[in-house]
Chains A and B, each alone.
Chain A
Amino acid sequence: MPKKEYLKKVMVIGSGPIIIGQAAEFDYAGSQACRALKEEGLEVVLVNSNPATIMTDTHIADRVYIEPLTVEFLEEIISKERPDGLLATLGGQAGLNLAVQLSEHGVLEKYKVELLGTSLKAIKKAEDRELFKETMQKLGEPIPESKIVETVEDAVKFAGEIGYPIIVRPAYTMGGTGGGIADNDQELVEIVIRGLKYSMIGQVLIERSVAGWKEIEYEVMRDSGDNCITVCNMENFDPVGVHTGDSIVVAPSQTLTDHEYQMLRSASLRIIRELGIEGGCNAQYALDSKTNNYYVIEVNPRVSRSSALASKATGYPIAKVSAKIAIGYTLDEITNAVTQKTKACFEPALDYCVVKFPRWPFDKFVLADHTLGTQMKATGEVMSIDRNFEGAILKAVRSLEIGVHYLSMEHVAEWNDETVLKKLALINDERIFVVAEALRRGIADIDKINEITKIDKWFIRKIKNIIDIEKRIKNEPLTQELLLAAKNKGIADRSIAEIAGKEMLEIRRMRKEMQIMPCYKMVDTCAAEFEAATPYYYSTFHAQEDEVQPSDKRKVVVLGSGPIRIGQGVEFDYCSVHSVWALREMGIEAIIINNNPETVSTDFDISDRLYFEPLTPEDVLNIIDKEKPEGVIVQFGGQTAINLADSLEKAGVKILGTSVDDIDRAEDRERFDELLEETHILRPCGESVTNVADAIKAAENIKYPCVIRPSYVLGGRAMEIVYNEDELRDYMGRAVKVSPEHPVLIDHYMQGREVEVDAICDGTDVVIPGIMEHIERAGIHSGDSIAVYPPQTLSARVIYTIVDYTKRLALGLNVKGLMNVQYVIVDEHVYVIEVNPRSSRTVPFLSKVTDIKMVNVATRAALGHSLKEMGYHSGLVTPKPYVALKAPVFSFAKMQDVDISLGPEMKSTGEVMGIDYHYSRALYKAITGAGMNIPTNGTILFTVADKDKEEMQQLAKAFSELGFNLVATKGTAESIDKMGIAVDIVGKVHESKGDILEMIKAGKINMVINTLTPGKTSAKDGFKIRRSTVEHGIACLTALDTAWQVLRVLSFMRERRLVYTLALQDYVGGGDDLA
């Protein structure tokens, strides 16, 4: 069937901010879809609230709207743009839910917008539990006995009928929010209450648990001509019970016979046909490991995280093909982009093994519950490819950047045998390491581990293969045969060195002498059956032919940023992609190395060459040995890439842009102080210490409060503010391992206004595209603050000083490329807090609002081009006539036991942008886009620390004047009462009946303003209050600055038109008369 010719303009909905369960994969899918639509000559209108995305680039879509993803805003955009069609199956669950809402509100009908691809009916059939159940029963596809319930009583009653364990899944949520497995009535009640809260339609499904069965997934495609194919199947290393987003996954399946493989494939085809899906779809199964019995667990009628993984695992571009199907094409009409010869209507054949490993935020949320279940907790993932499982799993492990490079964790190794055995039974982020440890010690054999964990013996045996080689390395001389065997099983030089008690470079040298070098192979969708054009490669030691021929062109390697984690998100992938594009524009061959399957940078047609490899010195050097590039760009890949700079340079690799030595000058405390002295720039006084005693002495000199952190951090890891010696001691004992090699930095904490600047320098000139002012005072991590461009409260003098300092710092550090500086302003004085000679989290945001391709310019600068020749002059670029705010988005609902109060440690997972000509509306958009549930009336609870009470009084007054009822805890209430404002006193936690928690539970409180109170009980109570706001979905503001802004929005909401939209192209292109 040919293209629907009547379609001229198509709207694509993005997935909004990055949250757990909905990450960069939708930027990848959305960008690919937009490009596919443009390729067909369609005008593309894109809506997404997330500025840190490639899809919101003005060259990806013709009309880009960075606006809140709500029905009101979308309707406004639709009325303005009048698209012929809407593509909603590529924007994750968020996009899908919006399409459903738009249809239900009659918007699609009103503006005659055709929903492209999978129909609403199909979406509902797959997403609505009852309809899904009916459909499966009609098909004869087995599903676990289940029941939809809307009350706790019904849940308990049904549980009585089918027995425990029982899985609870809320309807219409993503990432399994609010779900869980219950083993008894009490647990069931708890989970059902939460689940009902999170379900958009107040329903949860309770069903028989098939925990322990094999979990198998299929990625299926169908077109309007009813052609169906499966792109890929995947087997979860972790049996059913762990959310697939939190499971280690291999592709293709490893332990299924052809009969089993085809049985589930055929089921997938039957299901996608019956649902009538047009595009991509994901089907998940539980397969018994002792019979051919299976259950259908879930079907996602859209492009998902798994489809991004399947695309990267096979080379088959699911999003692109889905987009083409949506506009009318059938699979046999779409060219296979990889071979360029065959069609998209085929099933990829893999000739390698793919492993996906989740990246959890437990390094940030140390206190969070590490247990894995039906609720996804990972923020990101890595993928690896090799010719065997052992090689692939080890590549994945060393891609994680969690301080391990093989299946061994320091603290696990310290446990006694009993603990190891006990921990085997736990399902958490460490399980595979515990399995390895048990095998290493020989305290449990394959059968026993299988019995405890239900992990298939095949996987356990593979881990044992690795352990067996480890033992040989430990006990035998490193002969060529042994080294080759070790490399065949994927063991890194660094791990071999550690096990054999040698140096990594020594192993590398030995290996090179013995000519044990990796071969590179291509991912080509067809197992070499046809010649392929895609430059998508992976390494293996398990081969005899290296099929990748380096070109003799001028070439540069760009290092990617690895898995998405808190502090290093999709922003850095945005930068890597733009750097690659800049190089290609310059006619230089751009080679990217990265390991994140969710990203645009690992799309096979972004760079000239893509190496899907871990970002470790060994893996990167192997590629460099082969490709011999002119140099490597490290400044766009976040701290991941920066951390590699030193070892690469030591190995003789040229680092393009700012030198390694200058990077060190910015990161090393003493050298940085020297620089500041030379450049006459002030910073909060501080010291670097290497032991506890010195820390206490230093803090006394500097004066409390102090900000403490280990050196070399990203995302404010382990950074805290301490107000006295006790807190300092506590921190030193708990959060860091201080040593001469790992000093700790102590600075005086200055509670001023925080400002952030990104600048580009070529060594002579310094261009400052814009300055961002933070709404929250210093002390809250910059990634968690609301930032506004251009600054709203800074005096001309301060701005002048900032510009001047930024120039001095850039030139002083010999920056060639991007630099990010954070300042704090106190009493009109400017102090520098931090300098990062690399691209930062704010670069995509700033690039978008200033219309300066910052990464492109910086890449050119790094390669020696002058800013002048690119048409830029030193200094601050004239600010635009509009305002843009960047607001953080958190995933607290997914992470139980995490305190939501903001501080120097970063907690947000994503961001949104609000842009407008009016500050207040931009703010409204940012806050709405971030999903903050601001009440327009009702009751606000105040409970603040003593130090904040004075300021809080004014705030309370203002809220009261807006008509809100105020309630407060005793101390806070007294302080409000003094102002003559009516306030009700509420009992502290467990103080009395009808205490704060009960009021929140009963829905009597609509917003909470709570600041962190020192002291153990208060801290605990505050934590409980804050968590309960998360569980009940009400806004909780933990900084008074944020509260003031919310107040501003509330006033604005009463006065002005709330919904106004304008495409980014119009903002940067000169504006809109109607504004």
Chain B
Amino acid sequence: MKGKLTLEDGSIFTGDLLGDKPACGEVVFNTGMTGYQEILTDPSYCSQIITLTYPMIGNYGTAEKFNQSRNCFANGFITGELCDVGSNWQKESELSEFLKDKGISCLYNVDTRALTRCLRSAGTMKGIITAADAAENECEKLMSIPLDHKTVDRVTTPEKYVLENDGLHIVAMDFGVKRHMLESMHERGCKVTVVPARTSAREILELKPDGIFLSNGPGDPKDVLDIVETIKQLIGKKPVFGICLGHQLIALASGADTYKLKFGHRGSNQPVKDLRTGRVYISSQNHGYAVDEKSLERLPFDITHISMNDGTVEGMHHKTLPLFSVQYHPEASPGPDDNTYLFDEFCAMMKKGAI
């Protein structure tokens, strides 16, 4: 079935529709050439429409082991070619079946480069996926659906759960955590207790963790100011490490500000400079918001990492407290594993001792 993507500014991109479900969401693009399944199952994309710039997607099918969360929370998926039969020994199902299973509306055979150029110059915006011949009023109605601001609640774990281990005990606040983040800590011998996003500071501290981990997650950090309050109560009590949304929430909790980027950073090739060593690492990123550098100036934070592309803040460390965070994804999946050293740093920080 022929379909189309209509953007808020009226731009239209045509393609073929998989399934017949219309979709609405913020349209973002990711430049990673591999890892479509990891991207699709990254809860940070909740309620967004994901565009992949690499034009041939689905080449190696999908497999359960690559899922990064229990579901696929994106609202839509846009690609160039959608490979009908993938080829890889690990393949369990085709990408098209996977998308159907997860109920993701997919528009393929799209000129994703044209779409990316459009988003790059105009910024990310709302868009709708419909049938090519969808009635105008139907489109208007879809377009008028407000963007979801409760995405964290949709993706966080409903119940607390534990990844048992003998080592350090980490309580991970799940704002939409990617599985490999938890695995990265677990692999380092840590016991990880994953708690729902709205868990109170008291409950968390009662678990007697060695450290607290604040996960990635979808949306604007300012949508969850109540969680910011929780974090305020945790800072200084235990070593804290935050990634992505977790990083932004630490900033807000410390009195800094966040802002929305024009089209965000999404891809597996994002260079980040560690200002402490001068070394540059390639990172996997997925964020639409960033911490305002200026707002950190008068706060007791050192900026530890910046993006080589636009100089935005990618990591920070508290001057005195065992507290640090990064904007990008050291756990990779998808993307390069240049930055796993940050998990080691977190472990070292926890070992160095409680406060």
Chain A residues near B (Cβ < 8 Å): 225-227, 229, 252-259, 261-262, 265-266, 269, 289-291, 330-332, 342-343, 345-353, 387-389, 456-458, 461, 519, 521, 526-531, 542-545, 547
B279 touches A547 (CB 8 A): no
Q: Is B88 an interface residue (CB 8 A)?
A: yes
Name the contact of B55 in the complex, choosing from A353, A456, A531 (C-beta under 8 A): A353
A544 touches B282 (CB 8 A): no
Question: 6 closest pairs, A vs B, by CB?
Answer: A258-B35, A545-B114, A458-B87, A527-B53, A347-B269, A349-B31
| Docked complex Cα distance between A625 and B109 (Å) | 26
Tell me which residues across on chain B come within 8 A of A291, comparing CB atoms.
89
B111 touches A266 (CB 8 A): no
B38 touches A254 (CB 8 A): no
Name the contact of B271 in the complex, choosing from A269, A330, A346, A547 (C-beta under 8 A): A346
Number of interface residues of B (CB under 8 A): 56
Tell me which residues across on chain A come within 8 A of B10, comparing CB atoms.
none
B279 touches A458 (CB 8 A): no
Known contacts A529-B31, A544-B13, A257 near B90 by CB under 8 Å: yes
B35 touches A332 (CB 8 A): no
Tell me which residues across on chain A come within 8 A of B121, comparing CB atoms.
531
Tell me which residues across on chain A come within 8 A of B271, comparing CB atoms.
229, 332, 343, 345-347
Known contacts A258-B34, A342-B309, A528 near B53 by CB under 8 Å: yes
CB distance from A587 to the nearest CB of B (A): 30
CB distance from A258 to the nearest CB of B (A): 3
Q: List 28 A-B contacts (CB under 8 A).
A: A225-B278, A225-B279, A227-B279, A252-B34, A255-B60, A257-B88, A258-B37, A261-B35, A262-B337, A265-B336, A289-B89, A331-B280, A332-B271, A332-B278, A345-B308, A346-B269, A348-B269, A350-B54, A351-B53, A351-B55, A351-B116, A387-B81, A521-B113, A529-B29, A530-B120, A543-B113, A544-B114, A545-B114
Tell me which residues across on chain B come within 8 A of A388, comparing CB atoms.
55-56, 80-81
Name the contact of A527 in the complex, choosing from B37, B113, B278, B337 (C-beta under 8 A): B113
A530 touches B55 (CB 8 A): no
| Docked complex Cα distance between A261 and B121 (Å) | 31
| Docked complex Cα distance between A388 and B29 (Å) | 19
Quick check: which of B166-174, B184-192, B196-204, B327-335 contacts chain A, the rest being far away? B327-335
Name the contact of A547 in the complex, choosing from B53, B117, B308 (C-beta under 8 A): B117
B279 touches A226 (CB 8 A): yes
Q: Is B33 an interface residue (CB 8 A)?
A: yes
B88 touches A255 (CB 8 A): yes
| Docked complex Cα distance between A76 and B335 (Å) | 50
Name the contact of A526 in the complex, choosing from B31, B55, B114 (C-beta under 8 A): B31
Known contacts A345-B280, A349-B269, A530-B120, A257 near B60 by CB under 8 Å: yes
Tell me which residues across on chain A come within 8 A of B103, comparing CB atoms.
none
Chain B's closest residue to A347 (CB) is B269
A255 touches B32 (CB 8 A): no
Tell me which residues across on chain A come within 8 A of B88, comparing CB atoms.
255-257
Q: Is B86 an interface residue (CB 8 A)?
A: yes
| Docked complex Cα distance between A291 and B88 (Å) | 10
Chain A's closest residue to B61 (CB) is A257
Tell me which residues across on chain A come within 8 A of B63, comparing CB atoms.
257
B273 touches A332 (CB 8 A): yes
| Docked complex Cα distance between A545 and B269 (Å) | 25
Q: Is B267 an interface residue (CB 8 A)?
A: yes
B336 touches A387 (CB 8 A): no
Which residues of chain B from 270 to 315 have any CB-CB distance to chain A below 8 Å in the complex?
Answer: 270-271, 273, 278-280, 282, 308-309
A266 touches B55 (CB 8 A): no
Chain A's closest residue to B117 (CB) is A528
B14 touches A458 (CB 8 A): no
Q: Is B59 an interface residue (CB 8 A)?
A: yes
B270 touches A346 (CB 8 A): yes
Known contacts A257-B90, A258-B333, A387-B80, A349 near B267 by CB under 8 Å: yes
Known contacts A227-B279, A547-B114, A255 near B59 by CB under 8 Å: yes
Tell me which residues across on chain B come within 8 A of A252, comparing CB atoms.
33-34, 54
Chain B's closest residue to A223 (CB) is B280
Chain A's closest residue to B15 (CB) is A544
A545 touches B111 (CB 8 A): yes
Known contacts A353-B55, A528-B117, A547-B117, A332 near B85 by CB under 8 Å: no
| Docked complex Cα distance between A529 and B31 (Å) | 8
| Docked complex Cα distance between A544 and B273 (Å) | 37
Q: Given known contacts A388-B56, A527-B53, what 7 new A-B pairs fall within 8 Å (CB)?
A: A262-B335, A262-B336, A346-B270, A349-B53, A527-B267, A529-B120, A544-B14
Tell me which residues across on chain B come within 8 A of A259, comparing CB atoms.
66, 333
A257 touches B34 (CB 8 A): yes
Name the contact of A461 in the complex, choosing from B85, B111, B267, B268 (C-beta under 8 A): B85
| Docked complex Cα distance between A287 and B59 (Å) | 17
A258 touches B334 (CB 8 A): yes
Known contacts A258-B35, A332-B280, A345-B271, A543 near B111 by CB under 8 Å: yes
| Docked complex Cα distance between A397 and B163 (Å) | 54
Name the contact of A351 in the complex, choosing from B14, B90, B112, B120 (C-beta under 8 A): B112
Centre residue among A257, A348, A349, A458 by max chain B CB count within 10 A:
A257
| Docked complex Cα distance between A387 and B56 (Å) | 8
Name the contact of B54 in the complex, choosing from A342, A347, A527, A529 (C-beta under 8 A): A527
Tell me which residues across on chain A come within 8 A of B59, comparing CB atoms.
254-255, 458
Tell me which residues across on chain B come within 8 A of A544, comparing CB atoms.
13-14, 110-111, 114
Name the contact of B336 in the complex, choosing from A266, A331, A350, A528 (C-beta under 8 A): A266
CB distance from A81 to the nearest CB of B (A): 35
Name the contact of B116 in the complex, choosing from A352, A456, A529 (C-beta under 8 A): A529
CB distance from B73 to the nearest CB of A (A): 19
CB distance from B53 to the nearest CB of A (A): 4
Tell me which residues across on chain A come within 8 A of B29, comparing CB atoms.
529
Name the contact of A528 in the complex, choosing from B80, B113, B282, B333 (C-beta under 8 A): B113
| Docked complex Cα distance between A396 and B340 (Å) | 40
CB distance from A589 to the nearest CB of B (A): 23
| Docked complex Cα distance between A577 and B267 (Å) | 36
Known contacts A257-B88, A350-B33, A527-B31, A545 near B56 by CB under 8 Å: no
Which residues of chain B from 64 to 103 have any CB-CB distance to chain A below 8 Å in the complex?
Answer: 66, 80-81, 83, 85-90
Tell me which residues across on chain B come within 8 A of A346, comparing CB atoms.
269-271, 282, 308-309
B80 touches A457 (CB 8 A): no
CB distance from A353 to the nearest CB of B (A): 6
Tell me which residues across on chain B come within 8 A of A545, comparing CB atoms.
111, 113-114, 117
Chain B's closest residue to A531 (CB) is B120
Tell me which residues across on chain B come within 8 A of A261, comparing CB atoms.
33-35
Tell me which residues across on chain B come within 8 A of A519, comparing CB atoms.
111
Tell me which residues across on chain B come within 8 A of A257, comparing CB atoms.
34-35, 60, 63, 66, 88, 90
| Docked complex Cα distance between A345 and B283 (Å) | 12
B34 touches A256 (CB 8 A): yes
CB distance from B309 to the nearest CB of A (A): 5
Chain A's closest residue to B13 (CB) is A544
B56 touches A254 (CB 8 A): yes
Centre residue among B13, B53, B121 by max chain A CB count within 10 A:
B53
CB distance from B188 to the nearest CB of A (A): 17
Tell me which residues across on chain B come within 8 A of A351, comparing CB atoms.
31, 53-55, 112-113, 116
A543 touches B273 (CB 8 A): no
Tell me which residues across on chain B come within 8 A of A343, comparing CB atoms.
271, 308-309
Known contacts A346-B269, A528-B117, A262 near B308 by CB under 8 Å: no
B56 touches A353 (CB 8 A): yes
| Docked complex Cα distance between A908 and B267 (Å) | 47
Known contacts A343-B308, A349-B269, A543-B111, A262 near B332 by CB under 8 Å: yes
Chain B's closest residue to A346 (CB) is B271
Tell me which residues across on chain B come within 8 A of A253, comparing CB atoms.
34
| Docked complex Cα distance between A529 and B120 (Å) | 6
CB distance from A283 to the nearest CB of B (A): 15
Chain B's closest residue to A521 (CB) is B113
Tell me which residues across on chain A come within 8 A of B90, comparing CB atoms.
257
| Docked complex Cα distance between A480 and B85 (Å) | 26
Scoring B residues 316 to 355 as 1 if CB is less than 8 Å from chain A, else 0, what string do you get?
A: 0000000000000000111111100000000000000000
